[in-house]
């Protein structure tokens, strides 16, 4: 819809929320305070797997200022032992998911380093922390299993009695017999074993909560960082059995989410226990190391893939053997995001007649894994794009040509895949053609020659992907509009921005219909005085769902306003026209503004809509240079062409793309949550040890669009918040492998650190010299 500058308090900004946020006026979870509040500190397990023999809190309870100490016994007594799961479908051979209990604090046994064991509540945060050091816990160590492949081997120590072979779920998709038949007649088969490494999402804002209990009606007020009010209520209610209408969830600003802030963590439930027991509000703010240890992690997949081709390079079949590490417990969305999203786009952007995938979940003595930006979509895209590029290299076919040869064509849409998914609309050849031109694909050999003269290695990588936006957990999305007496329109939605810019884009959607400045729309994303149905912000779905409903609600407001204006003006509704915030009658001077109408009558309307999954797609091309003497990789060029449907705000789209590509680059070149295999200790639990992407990693990203309108919603919008992650893994790894392939290196697992690359390159060069 275009680029915009807005005026807020006399300052021109590109997003309506920016002035508040960049001047430090934001309100995050740790900023909330209530009179008489206590402060909480968690005692966490310092070992990965052990039986809790005893917990002695005697000395800690005597520490000055301590108001209470709570353990797993309290969690079990309260019944806070099992969170919600979204694993509501059957697996292989009608298998039901084996969902182990997870008390809000460990009871009887600890299963990962960082698991909460006790909660100390005191007059100050420092007093609570000091008292926690007086608690004595006697453990009896048990065998530790960190590696998911080792976890599912027969005879390995079992984490949960209810989860035999450490396998909570198995699933298969596709046609196994047809796939085997296609492989049997293949002229060429390419094989790779790939790992999408475990990473820590690390939103800028650490987790925090402030919870108050009201004994008069047994309700709780929960200040917390969220990705959506309804989703948090639903999960907390399932965990604690407190009815959703007794949970008042409050959040203003949220400093990043990436899926990690969707979860109702057990710590929140433990603080609820303390707030009720003490009769005072209780506040807890996580440290960064606590976040590394106990916030949900992402990715953690080991994928064995095979791609079958005929003599002309046409794809015949693909099969995957997928092992997903779930950590010590199953998070609400972890199993679903590691299975459903990959199976939805199992064919990628290609016509692959036969597909088969087998998924196995594993529990390990590590932090639980959940959705992380892309939630399985980057993993399946990475696997497919690595296989395709590997096949191209083995067959001596240009990587872009092999892709083009196997694309789903524009006339095939809507396209039903072999696994039952229906892609709505795309022009994949058009996206590729534009990307190749943008990247000067044909001129690459000249850039390669120039790099070779410097003694460095250069590679080019391509990734063409498609992904599904989230369908949502609720049957519809609702938005309410209410006109104030000053003419300001308040827009209520249960979607929740964690940096996506809802206050801007949602306002733009309504303002366009109402023909008033977006600055006159106030977006409210958190409230407890009205009930709206709707989905949280996640899975790149908010503009598709809630954003479209903003448009629908605004149209309804205009029609409703015409009826009210007709009554006020003494004419028929059919005689009323509307434009620029004003209702007009047929005679000169017969008019009434939105503000004037609201001064006479309540002007309020609710819009709703149900919109399914859209399929944004794109092509990313990367070039890298590697110094063989150090293994250091520089991203020399990065180009994107994406189809995210009709664009509402180009600046926000570009910002989302930059951030997502940076996170993809972080995973490719360094991010990795590393556990010691013997002790289960997290070796990367601080920013000193854990690699984070930095601004200097990326060159200026050259972006272009090739939009096709979605057929799923009336505005043609597709999601795009995760597409940068989805495409960048394959593009960057393919570029690195292209650079080192002349040395005989055909595959390397992420992260592609300088040490790893230097070791592999040196080994190959040494062999060559020998």
Q: Annotate 305-368 with DSSP letters as a single string.
A: EEEEE-TTS-EEEEEEEEEEE--SS--SSHHHHHHHHHHHTTTTTB--SEEEEEEEEE--SS--
Do residue 594 and residue 639 come from a single domain?
Answer: no
Segments forming the whole domain that contains residue 455: 397-469+613-765
* pLDDT-flagged residues of the chain (< 70): 1-3, 767-770
Predicted pLDDT of residue 75: 98
Phi, psi of 618 (to 5 degrees): 180, 175
The number of C-alpha atoms within 13 Å of 27 and in the hemisphere containing its C-beta is 8
Residue where one domain finishes, among candidates 574, 592, 609: 609
Please give the span between the terminal C-alpha atoms of the chain, in angstroms, as a whole number: 61
pLDDT digits (tens, 9 = 90+) for 54-98: 999 999 999 999 999 999 999 999 999 999 999 999 999 999 999
* CB 716 within 8 Å of CB 710: yes
- How would DSSP label each residue in 92-157? GGGPPP------SS--SEE-STT-EEEEEEESSHHHHHHHHTT-EEEEEE------HHHHTSTTPP
Please name the residues in contact with 466: beta carbons below 8 A apart, sequence gap of 6 or more. 345, 348, 349, 381, 423, 426, 428, 615, 616, 617
Predicted pLDDT of residue 36: 98
Do residue 663 and residue 707 come from a single domain?
Answer: yes
Instruction: Tell me if 455 is assigned to some domain.
Output: yes
Do residue 543 and residue 677 come from a single domain?
Answer: no
Do residue 676 and residue 710 come from a single domain?
Answer: yes
- How would DSSP label each residue in 388-448? HHHHHHHHT--HHHHHHHHBPPGGG-SEE-TTS-EE----HHHHHHHHHHHTTGGGHHHHH
Instruction: Tell me if 517 is assigned to some domain.
Output: yes
Predicted pLDDT of residue 3: 59
* CB 472 within 8 Å of CB 675: no
Residue whose C-alpha is closest to residue 539's, from 464, 479, 614: 614
Instruction: Give Dmax (Cα) for the chain.
Output: 97
pLDDT digits (tens, 9 = 90+) for 463-490: 999 999 988 889 999 999 999 999 999 9
* CB 387 within 8 Å of CB 349: no
Do residue 440 and residue 527 come from a single domain?
Answer: no
Do residue 676 and residue 723 come from a single domain?
Answer: yes
Instruction: Tell me if 239 is assigned to some domain.
Output: no
Pairing of the two strands 354-362 and 415-416:
unpaired
Do residue 497 and residue 452 come from a single domain?
Answer: no
Do residue 561 and residue 628 come from a single domain?
Answer: no
Predicted pLDDT of residue 588: 86
Residue whose C-alpha is closest to residue 369's, from 324, 326, 322: 326
Sign of the alpha-carbon dihedral angle for 555, 560, 566, 572: positive
Instruction: Tell me if 667 is assigned to some domain.
Output: yes
Instruction: Tell me if 490 is assigned to some domain.
Output: yes
Predicted pLDDT of residue 4: 74
Residue whose C-alpha is closest to residue 40's, from 129, 155, 149: 129
Residue where one domain finishes, among candidates 609, 634, 654: 609
Residue whose C-alpha is closest to residue 334's, from 260, 387, 384, 272: 260
Q: What angle, rounded to 10 degrees, do the helices at 229-240 and 266-278 form?
A: 70
- CATH number where 494 lies: 3.30.365.10
Do residue 522 and residue 630 come from a single domain?
Answer: no
Q: Please tell me the total number of residues recorded for the chain in this structure.
A: 770
Do residue 667 and residue 679 come from a single domain?
Answer: yes
Predicted pLDDT of residue 2: 47
Instruction: Tell me if 36 is assigned to some domain.
Output: no
Predicted pLDDT of residue 399: 98
Do residue 572 and residue 599 come from a single domain?
Answer: yes
Residue where one domain finishes, among candidates 576, 609, 642: 609
Number of folded domains in the chain? 2
Instruction: Tell me if 145 is assigned to some domain.
Output: no
Identify the three-state secondary structure at position 661.
helix
Do residue 558 and residue 702 come from a single domain?
Answer: no
Instruction: Tell me if 654 is assigned to some domain.
Output: yes
Please name the residues in contact with 669: beta carbons below 8 A apart, sequence gap of 6 or more. 633, 691, 693, 697, 732, 751, 752, 753
């Amino acid at each position: 819809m275009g680029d915009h500058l807005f005026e807020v308090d006399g300052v021109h900004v590109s997003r309506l929320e920016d002035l508040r946020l960049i001047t430090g006026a934001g309100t995050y979870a740790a900023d909330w305070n209530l009179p008489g509040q206590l402060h909480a500190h968690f005692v966490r397990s310092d070992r990965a797997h052990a039986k809790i023999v005893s917990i002695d809190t005697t000395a800690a309870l005597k520490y000055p200022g301590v108001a209470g100490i709570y353990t797993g016994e309290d969690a079990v007594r309260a019944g806070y032992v099992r969170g919600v799961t979204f694993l509501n479908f059957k697996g292989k051979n009608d298998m039901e998911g084996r969902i182990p209990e997870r008390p809000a604090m460990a009871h009887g046994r600890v299963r990962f380093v960082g698991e909460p064991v006790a909660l100390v509540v005191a007059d100050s945060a420092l007093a609570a922390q000091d008292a926690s050091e007086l608690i004595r816990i006697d453990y009896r160590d048990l065998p530790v299993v960190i590696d998911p492949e080792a976890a599912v081997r027969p005879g390995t120590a079992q984490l949960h009695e209810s989860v035999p072979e450490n396998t909570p779920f198995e699933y298969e998709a596709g046609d196994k017999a047809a796939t085997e038949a296609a492989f049997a007649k293949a002229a060429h088969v390419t094989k790779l074993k790939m790992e999408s490494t475990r990473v820590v999402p690390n939103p800028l804002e650490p987790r925090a909560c402030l919870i108050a209990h009201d004994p008069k009606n047994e309700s709780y007020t929960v200040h917390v960082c969220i990705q959506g009010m309804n989703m948090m209520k639903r999960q907390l209610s399932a965990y604690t059995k407190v009815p959703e209408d007794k949970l008042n969830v409050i959040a203003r600003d949220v400093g990043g989410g990436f899926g990690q802030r969707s979860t109702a963590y057990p710590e929140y439930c433990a603080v609820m226990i303390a707030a009720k027991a003490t009769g005072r509000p209780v506040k807890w703010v996580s440290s960064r190391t606590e976040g590394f240890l106990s916030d949900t992690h992402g990715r953690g997949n080991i994928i064995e893939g095979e791609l079958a081709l005929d003599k002309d390079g046409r794809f015949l079949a693909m099969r995957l053997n997928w092992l997903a590490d779930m950590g010590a417990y199953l998070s609400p969305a972890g199993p679903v995001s590691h299975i459903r999203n990959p199976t939805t786009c199992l064919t990628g952007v290609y016509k692959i007649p036969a597909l088969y995938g087998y998924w196995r979940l594993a529990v390990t003595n590590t932090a639980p894994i959940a959705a992380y930006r892309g939630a399985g979509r980057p993993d399946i895209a990475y696997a497919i794009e690595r296989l395709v590029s590997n096949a191209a290299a083995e067959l001596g076919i240009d990587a872009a040509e092999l892709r083009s040869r196997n694309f789903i064509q524009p006339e095939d849409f809507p396209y039903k895949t072999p696994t039952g998914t229906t892609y709505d609309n795309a022009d994949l050849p058009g996206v590729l053609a534009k990307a190749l031109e943008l990247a000067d694909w044909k001129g690459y050999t000249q850039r390669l020659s120039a790099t070779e003269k410097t003694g460095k290695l250069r590679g080019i990588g391509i990734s063409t992907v498609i992904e599904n936006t989230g369908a949502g957990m609720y049957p519809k999305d609702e938005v309410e509009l209410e006109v104030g007496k000053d003419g300001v329109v308040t827009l209520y939605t249960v979607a929740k921005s964690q940096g996506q810019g809802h206050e801007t884009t949602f306002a733009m959607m309504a303002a366009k219909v109402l023909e008033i400045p977006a600055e006159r729309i106030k977006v409210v994303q958190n409230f407890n005085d009205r009930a709206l149905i709707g989905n949280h912000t996640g899975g790149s779905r908010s503009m598709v769902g809630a954003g479209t409903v903003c448009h629908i609600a605004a149209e309804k407001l205009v029609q409703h306003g015409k009826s009210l204006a007709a009554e006020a003006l003494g004419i028929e509704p059919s005689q009323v026209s509307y434009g620029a915030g004003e209702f007009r009658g047929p005679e000169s001077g017969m008019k009434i503004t939105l503000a004037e109408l609201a001064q006479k009558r309540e002007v309020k309307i609710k819009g709703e809509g149900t919109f399914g999954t859209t399929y944004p797609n794109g092509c990313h091309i990367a070039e890298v240079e590697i110094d063989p003497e150090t293994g250091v990789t520089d991203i020399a060029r990065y180009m994107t062409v994406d189809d995210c449907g009709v664009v509402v705000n180009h600046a926000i789209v570009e910002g989302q793309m930059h951030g997502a590509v940076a996170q993809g680059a972080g995973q490719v070149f360094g991010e990795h949550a590393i556990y010691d295999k013997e002790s289960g200790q997290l070796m990367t639990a601080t920013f000193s040890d854990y690699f984070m992407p930095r601004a200097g990693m990326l060159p200026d990203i050259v972006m272009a669009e090739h939009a096709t309108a979605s057929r799923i919603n009336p505005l043609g919008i597709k999601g795009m918040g995760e597409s940068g992650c989805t495409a960048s893994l394959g593009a960057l790894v393919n570029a690195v492998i292209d650079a080192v392939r002349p040395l005989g290196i055909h595959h390397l697992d992420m992260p592609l650190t300088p040490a790893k690359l230097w070791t592999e390159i040196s080994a190959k060069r040494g062999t060559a010299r020998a």
